[in-house]
Protein backbone atom coordinates (compact mmCIF):
# COMPACT_ATOMS: atom_id res chain seq x y z
CA UNK A 1 0.00 0.00 0.00
CA UNK A 2 2.81 2.43 0.84
CA UNK A 3 4.45 1.84 -2.56
CA UNK A 4 1.11 2.49 -4.28
CA UNK A 5 0.67 5.70 -2.32
CA UNK A 6 4.19 6.87 -3.21
CA UNK A 7 3.64 6.09 -6.89
CA UNK A 8 0.35 7.99 -6.92
CA UNK A 9 1.91 10.95 -5.13
CA UNK A 10 4.75 11.01 -7.66
CA UNK A 11 2.20 10.96 -10.48
CA UNK A 12 0.25 13.81 -8.88
CA UNK A 13 3.40 15.86 -8.42
CA UNK A 14 4.40 15.33 -12.02
CA UNK A 15 1.04 15.84 -13.74
CA UNK A 16 -0.64 18.41 -11.50
CA UNK A 17 2.30 20.42 -10.19
CA UNK A 18 5.49 20.18 -12.24
CA UNK A 19 3.52 20.12 -15.50
CA UNK A 20 0.59 22.18 -14.24
CA UNK A 21 -1.88 23.64 -16.72
CA UNK A 22 -3.29 27.18 -16.42
CA UNK A 23 -6.44 27.12 -14.31
CA UNK A 24 -8.28 29.72 -16.35
CA UNK A 25 -8.18 32.00 -19.39
CA UNK A 26 -5.57 34.72 -19.51
CA UNK A 27 -3.18 32.97 -17.12
CA UNK A 28 0.05 31.17 -17.89
CA UNK A 29 2.24 28.58 -16.21
CA UNK A 30 5.99 29.15 -16.25
CA UNK A 31 9.06 27.15 -15.25
CA UNK A 32 11.42 29.57 -13.51
CA UNK A 33 14.55 27.74 -12.44
CA UNK A 34 13.65 25.42 -9.57
CA UNK A 35 9.97 26.39 -9.37
CA UNK A 36 6.83 26.29 -11.47
CA UNK A 37 4.48 29.22 -11.02
CA UNK A 38 1.13 30.41 -12.33
CA UNK A 39 0.87 34.03 -13.38
CA UNK A 40 -2.23 36.00 -14.26
CA UNK A 41 -4.04 39.25 -13.51
CA UNK A 42 -4.49 40.53 -9.97
CA UNK A 43 -7.83 38.72 -9.51
CA UNK A 44 -6.45 35.40 -10.75
CA UNK A 45 -4.65 32.87 -8.56
CA UNK A 46 -0.96 33.74 -8.66
CA UNK A 47 1.70 31.63 -7.04
CA UNK A 48 4.17 28.77 -6.90
CA UNK A 49 2.71 25.30 -7.47
CA UNK A 50 5.88 23.18 -7.51
CA UNK A 51 9.50 23.30 -6.43
CA UNK A 52 12.24 20.91 -7.44
CA UNK A 53 12.65 17.90 -5.12
CA UNK A 54 16.39 18.52 -5.07
CA UNK A 55 16.03 22.09 -3.82
CA UNK A 56 18.55 22.75 -1.05
CA UNK A 57 18.78 25.52 1.54
CA UNK A 58 20.65 28.07 -0.55
CA UNK A 59 18.59 27.26 -3.62
CA UNK A 60 15.39 27.69 -1.64
CA UNK A 61 16.41 31.10 -0.33
CA UNK A 62 17.35 32.23 -3.84
CA UNK A 63 14.08 30.93 -5.28
CA UNK A 64 12.03 32.65 -2.56
CA UNK A 65 13.80 35.97 -3.15
CA UNK A 66 13.34 35.64 -6.92
CA UNK A 67 9.60 35.02 -6.61
CA UNK A 68 9.11 37.94 -4.24
CA UNK A 69 10.91 40.19 -6.71
CA UNK A 70 9.05 38.79 -9.71
CA UNK A 71 5.52 39.02 -8.36
CA UNK A 72 6.33 42.35 -6.80
CA UNK A 73 7.27 43.67 -10.23
CA UNK A 74 3.78 42.78 -11.48
CA UNK A 75 2.13 45.02 -8.92
CA UNK A 76 -0.21 42.35 -7.52
CA UNK A 77 -1.26 42.67 -3.90
CA UNK A 78 -0.33 39.10 -3.03
CA UNK A 79 0.82 35.72 -4.26
CA UNK A 80 0.92 32.25 -2.75
CA UNK A 81 3.53 29.53 -2.39
CA UNK A 82 1.66 26.25 -2.13
CA UNK A 83 3.78 24.00 0.11
CA UNK A 84 3.26 20.25 0.43
CA UNK A 85 4.49 18.28 3.43
CA UNK A 86 6.94 16.29 1.30
CA UNK A 87 8.49 19.33 -0.41
CA UNK A 88 12.18 20.04 0.09
CA UNK A 89 14.13 21.33 1.81
CA UNK A 90 12.40 20.13 4.96
CA UNK A 91 12.57 23.61 6.49
CA UNK A 92 11.02 25.33 3.45
CA UNK A 93 8.08 26.56 5.59
CA UNK A 94 10.46 28.21 8.07
CA UNK A 95 12.35 29.88 5.24
CA UNK A 96 9.10 31.24 3.80
CA UNK A 97 8.10 32.57 7.22
CA UNK A 98 11.46 34.27 7.58
CA UNK A 99 10.93 35.94 4.20
CA UNK A 100 7.57 37.40 5.27
CA UNK A 101 5.07 34.80 4.08
CA UNK A 102 2.02 34.10 6.26
CA UNK A 103 0.57 30.57 6.47
CA UNK A 104 -3.11 29.89 6.03
CA UNK A 105 -4.86 26.82 7.51
CA UNK A 106 -3.38 23.55 6.22
CA UNK A 107 -5.45 21.16 4.16
CA UNK A 108 -5.19 17.44 3.47
CA UNK A 109 -4.56 16.23 -0.07
CA UNK A 110 -7.03 13.35 -0.47
CA UNK A 111 -7.35 11.16 -3.55
CA UNK A 112 -9.76 8.40 -4.57
CA UNK A 113 -10.16 6.25 -7.67
CA UNK A 114 -13.19 7.44 -9.62
CA UNK A 115 -14.31 3.84 -10.05
CA UNK A 116 -14.56 3.40 -6.27
CA UNK A 117 -16.99 6.27 -5.79
CA UNK A 118 -20.79 5.93 -5.60
CA UNK A 119 -22.46 7.98 -8.31
CA UNK A 120 -26.07 7.66 -7.16
CA UNK A 121 -27.18 11.08 -5.94
CA UNK A 122 -29.29 10.89 -2.78
CA UNK A 123 -30.71 14.24 -1.70
CA UNK A 124 -32.71 15.26 1.37
CA UNK A 125 -36.32 16.24 0.81
CA UNK A 126 -36.68 19.75 -0.52
CA UNK A 127 -33.26 19.89 -2.21
CA UNK A 128 -32.51 19.75 -5.93
CA UNK A 129 -29.25 20.09 -7.83
CA UNK A 130 -28.67 22.56 -10.65
CA UNK A 131 -25.63 22.89 -12.84
CA UNK A 132 -24.21 26.38 -13.22
CA UNK A 133 -24.32 27.67 -16.77
CA UNK A 134 -24.25 31.48 -16.56
CA UNK A 135 -23.40 34.53 -14.48
CA UNK A 136 -26.66 34.25 -12.54
CA UNK A 137 -25.63 30.77 -11.43
CA UNK A 138 -22.21 32.05 -10.37
CA UNK A 139 -23.96 34.71 -8.27
CA UNK A 140 -26.00 31.99 -6.55
CA UNK A 141 -22.78 30.05 -5.92
CA UNK A 142 -21.40 33.15 -4.27
CA UNK A 143 -24.39 33.50 -1.97
CA UNK A 144 -24.04 29.87 -0.87
CA UNK A 145 -20.27 30.21 -0.46
CA UNK A 146 -20.44 33.35 1.69
CA UNK A 147 -23.14 31.88 3.93
CA UNK A 148 -21.30 28.56 4.27
CA UNK A 149 -17.74 29.78 4.75
CA UNK A 150 -18.20 33.36 5.93
CA UNK A 151 -15.62 34.61 3.43
CA UNK A 152 -15.87 37.05 0.56
CA UNK A 153 -16.65 35.51 -2.83
CA UNK A 154 -15.74 38.40 -5.13
CA UNK A 155 -12.25 37.32 -6.15
CA UNK A 156 -13.14 33.62 -6.40
CA UNK A 157 -16.30 34.58 -8.25
CA UNK A 158 -14.20 36.34 -10.88
CA UNK A 159 -12.14 33.20 -11.35
CA UNK A 160 -15.20 30.91 -11.50
CA UNK A 161 -16.97 33.13 -14.05
CA UNK A 162 -13.85 33.23 -16.22
CA UNK A 163 -13.55 29.45 -16.01
CA UNK A 164 -17.22 29.01 -16.88
CA UNK A 165 -16.89 31.27 -19.90
CA UNK A 166 -13.81 29.33 -20.98
CA UNK A 167 -15.80 26.10 -20.65
CA UNK A 168 -18.30 27.33 -23.21
CA UNK A 169 -15.54 26.66 -25.72
CA UNK A 170 -13.99 23.70 -23.88
CA UNK A 171 -16.65 21.68 -22.09
CA UNK A 172 -14.01 19.45 -20.57
CA UNK A 173 -12.61 21.99 -18.13
CA UNK A 174 -15.14 23.04 -15.50
CA UNK A 175 -18.44 22.07 -13.86
CA UNK A 176 -20.30 24.11 -11.26
CA UNK A 177 -23.23 22.75 -9.28
CA UNK A 178 -25.71 24.20 -6.79
CA UNK A 179 -27.90 22.57 -4.16
CA UNK A 180 -31.12 24.57 -4.03
CA UNK A 181 -33.87 24.67 -1.41
CA UNK A 182 -36.54 26.18 -3.60
CA UNK A 183 -34.92 29.33 -4.94
CA UNK A 184 -32.39 29.58 -2.11
CA UNK A 185 -28.84 28.24 -2.67
CA UNK A 186 -27.71 26.18 0.32
CA UNK A 187 -24.54 24.59 -1.07
CA UNK A 188 -22.24 24.97 -4.05
CA UNK A 189 -19.35 22.99 -5.46
CA UNK A 190 -17.04 22.90 -8.44
CA UNK A 191 -15.07 20.35 -10.41
CA UNK A 192 -12.07 21.26 -12.53
CA UNK A 193 -10.73 18.88 -15.14
CA UNK A 194 -7.17 18.71 -16.33
CA UNK A 195 -7.23 17.24 -19.85
CA UNK A 196 -4.26 15.04 -20.59
CA UNK A 197 -4.09 13.79 -17.00
CA UNK A 198 -6.16 11.30 -15.02
CA UNK A 199 -7.07 13.82 -12.30
CA UNK A 200 -10.27 15.77 -11.71
CA UNK A 201 -10.32 18.22 -8.80
CA UNK A 202 -13.19 18.74 -6.39
CA UNK A 203 -13.48 22.25 -4.94
CA UNK A 204 -15.95 24.05 -2.71
CA UNK A 205 -18.71 21.92 -1.28
CA UNK A 206 -19.59 24.32 1.51
CA UNK A 207 -23.11 23.95 2.94
CA UNK A 208 -24.97 26.56 4.98
CA UNK A 209 -25.23 25.60 8.63
CA UNK A 210 -28.97 24.84 8.72
CA UNK A 211 -28.56 22.17 6.02
CA UNK A 212 -25.41 20.44 7.27
CA UNK A 213 -25.48 16.79 8.29
CA UNK A 214 -28.19 15.89 5.78
CA UNK A 215 -26.03 14.32 3.06
CA UNK A 216 -25.78 17.27 0.68
CA UNK A 217 -21.98 17.23 0.64
CA UNK A 218 -21.95 13.50 -0.16
CA UNK A 219 -24.52 14.06 -2.91
CA UNK A 220 -22.36 16.75 -4.50
CA UNK A 221 -19.36 14.39 -4.46
CA UNK A 222 -21.43 11.61 -6.06
CA UNK A 223 -22.77 13.97 -8.73
CA UNK A 224 -19.29 15.11 -9.69
CA UNK A 225 -17.84 11.60 -9.52
CA UNK A 226 -20.43 10.51 -12.08
CA UNK A 227 -19.34 13.23 -14.48
CA UNK A 228 -15.67 12.37 -13.98
CA UNK A 229 -16.45 8.71 -14.73
CA UNK A 230 -18.33 9.65 -17.91
CA UNK A 231 -15.34 11.69 -19.09
CA UNK A 232 -12.83 8.93 -18.41
CA UNK A 233 -10.89 10.40 -15.49
CA UNK A 234 -9.26 7.91 -13.14
CA UNK A 235 -8.83 9.87 -9.88
CA UNK A 236 -10.53 12.60 -7.87
CA UNK A 237 -8.38 14.89 -5.75
CA UNK A 238 -9.39 17.30 -2.99
CA UNK A 239 -7.57 19.82 -0.81
CA UNK A 240 -9.78 18.99 2.16
CA UNK A 241 -10.50 21.10 5.22
CA UNK A 242 -10.86 19.58 8.65
CA UNK A 243 -14.64 19.67 8.14
CA UNK A 244 -14.76 17.81 4.84
CA UNK A 245 -11.85 15.38 5.34
CA UNK A 246 -13.76 12.99 7.65
CA UNK A 247 -16.64 12.74 5.16
CA UNK A 248 -14.26 12.06 2.29
CA UNK A 249 -12.35 9.42 4.24
CA UNK A 250 -15.65 7.61 4.87
CA UNK A 251 -16.19 7.71 1.11
CA UNK A 252 -12.88 5.95 0.52
CA UNK A 253 -10.53 8.87 -0.10
CA UNK A 254 -6.99 8.36 1.18
CA UNK A 255 -4.35 10.87 2.22
CA UNK A 256 -1.39 11.55 -0.05
CA UNK A 257 0.04 14.59 1.71
CA UNK A 258 -0.89 17.83 3.41
CA UNK A 259 -0.68 21.25 1.82
CA UNK A 260 -0.40 24.72 3.33
CA UNK A 261 -0.78 28.02 1.46
CA UNK A 262 1.94 30.51 2.35
CA UNK A 263 0.83 33.98 1.28
CA UNK A 264 3.09 36.95 0.62
CA UNK A 265 1.27 40.27 0.63
CA UNK A 266 2.95 43.14 -1.14
CA UNK A 267 0.24 45.69 -0.37
CA UNK A 268 -1.21 46.74 3.01
Task: List the domain boundaries for the chain.
Answer: 2-108+259-265, 118-251
For the chain, what percentages of helix, strand and coil (3-state, to nearest 5) are there? 35, 30, 35
| CATH fold for the domain made of 118-251 | Aminopeptidase (3.40.630)
pTM exceeds 0.75, yes or no: yes
Q: Do domains 2-108+259-265 and 118-251 have the same CATH topology?
A: yes
Domain 2-108+259-265 architecture: 3-Layer(aba) Sandwich (3.40)
Work out the angle between the directed axes of helices 135-149 and 154-167 (0-180°, nearest 10). Answer: 140
In 3D space, the residue among 258, 238, 243 whose CA is nearest the CA of residue 149 turns out to be: 243
Residuewise pLDDT in 10s, the chain (268 residues)? 788 999 999 999 999 999 999 988 889 999 999 999 999 999 999 999 999 999 999 999 999 999 999 999 999 899 999 999 999 999 999 999 999 999 999 999 999 999 999 999 999 999 999 999 999 999 999 999 999 999 899 988 988 888 888 765 545 688 999 999 999 999 999 999 988 899 999 999 999 999 999 999 999 999 999 999 999 999 999 999 999 999 999 999 999 999 999 999 986 5
Coil, strand, or helix at residue 204?
strand
Give DSSP secondary structure letters for 24-44. STT-EEEEETTEEEEE--TTS
pLDDT attached to residue 49: 98
Amino acid sequence: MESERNSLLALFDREMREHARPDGPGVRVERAGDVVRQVGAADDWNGVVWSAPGLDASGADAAIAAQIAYFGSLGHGEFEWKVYAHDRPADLPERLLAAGFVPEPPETLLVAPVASQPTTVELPEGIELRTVTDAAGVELMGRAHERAFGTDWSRLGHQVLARLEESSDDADSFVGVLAMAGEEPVSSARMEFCPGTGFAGLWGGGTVEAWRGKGIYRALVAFRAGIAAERGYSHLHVDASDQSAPILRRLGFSELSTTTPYVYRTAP
